[in-house]
Chains A and B, each alone.
Chain A
Amino acid sequence: MFAALYAELHRLARRELARNGAGVTLGVTTLLHEAYLDMSGREHVAFPDRARFMGYASRVMRGIIIDYARRRQAVKRGGHFSITSIETGHGEALADSRELTRVGEALDELTTLEPALAEIVDLKFFCGFSLPEIAAMRGVSERTVQRDWEKARLYLHDVLCLR
């Protein structure tokens, strides 16, 4: 199951990157929706619901993004405008793949404590879903998601900046 999803997301991400090279992009959220549409149409792949799929897929996506950042770092050349990340394209911020890796590790840690909080970070930070979208996906109030997001951020800040 995981392997299939990883392969699927990777395929979509690669395609997206190719397009992104041309400044054309649908972004990670659309990517995940697409992956869901693709995979839910397939035999033997049954997710109980979209929310769980998205939660799961966003974790996979995080891995892909960090891998990608690492690889890209390795081949980076000079120039003002390097290619954008697979994100919807504000340029790229956490250019430093080491920093991304640390966020990933902190998230892994948070997953063992409060998996729901970690998932929000995957969805929002790595995949670009908005808080209202996440709330709708989970069928909870925006207020709840907002609170969880703030908690997750506090935790990550604690791990990343204070330790």
Chain B
Amino acid sequence: MIPHVRGHTVRSGVVLGLVLNLTLLLGGCQGDTSFPSRPITFICPWSAGGGTDQVARQIASQLEQRLGVPVNVINATGGGGVTGHTRGALARSDGYTITMVTAEINMLHWRGLTNITWRDYRPLMQVNQDNAAVFVRDDAPWDSMKELEKAVLKKPGKLTASGTAFGGVWHIALAGWLTEAGLPADALSWISMGGSAPSLQELMAGGIEVVSCSVPEAISLLEAGEIKCLGVMAENRLEDLPDVPTLQEQGYDWTGKTWRGIAVPEGTPDDRFQVLLDALRDVVESKEYKQFLEQSGFGYAARGPEAFRTALKKENQAYGEIFNSEAFQQVKSQRYGPMLFPGLLGALGLLVVGTLVVRGQLLRPVKNAQPYTQRRLRRVASIFGAVLFYLLLAEVMGYVVTAAIVLAFLFWLLDVSWRTSLPLIVVLVPLTYQVFGGYLRVPLPWGWLGW
């Protein structure tokens, strides 16, 4: 099933392709005045299939209908959110790149992972909020947060907990509760895990005792009777779990939550900002979107630009206090540091390389390898150059022009006649552009030709 692209006119064709390629160095047109007139890139800092991705794709498909151009979700994952948040902030502020910002934006810079803060963004709207809750195995001896607190107090640092990576949003939520209870933030020893799914798996396997994560992530296991919930970190009881008391009811003044919101790079012009905001507001207030959140188990929260900005600022300060607190500074230094594993690998590597060199297996090429000659080496270097050429110039000149030049150069290098290479270029370049850029939503650069 080929996903259909709404409002995306197919302007390809061999004739047009021919014209485009013949006039490729004459520069292009960028005369469009209406916004938006080409696809919008929607950066999601988390992986495909996760909660943030699901929300992003729902909003993207609804935004498409309102803006009349494709909105392509790109999962710029990695570095605990650093990659996506950095890329979104540093993107061109022309309104064609929007970013799904998550609570981590206010943590990453305190952890020294990036210089990007919420101030690098111009916030559009907050679109969702989920509260944290504390889960233990169903057969665990504790039935309330107070009982858990006593158990922690009895053996500080013995019980283990997880829910996300070290210093992630659910870690801070749990550390906040411990601090509120007057315990050191590392009284529950935090095992750094990739997310809530592996943490819940580990909880069931008996590897850890406590999981702190959002309710929708754990609801299936909760309903299956495998785990129980000791308390939710929300202001009020949750609709999904009416029997579970909040932490405030249990005597701790603490709430823990994550949220998702959409922002554009700082400096995006007002008129474009307004177009995006109007469309987004329509989406967020639509019945369809609310229904999606409810059915998927996500919490609804809508904040406009000003309220979102204030919330970001306030939360950023709160996290700053937590991360700079003495209690957390102690936790921050991990016992098994980032160089332990590479160190072990290095030791093993030296051993293997040493043996290989001694046995003379590494330094000489295989017997049947083609020998290097100057002409062949030049060919190899040209491939290297061709890719570098693409890397440096694709963004400026656009995919169509750059790819055509790269192909033409390589065909020439390999002595392919023009009668073969020209038709190939004319067909192949527009075709790949249409298939990848159009149907498969790969954000290929359009550059000079504006296509």
Query: A and B: partners?
Result: no
A binding-site residues for B, Cβ under 8 Å: none
B binding-site residues for A, Cβ under 8 Å: none
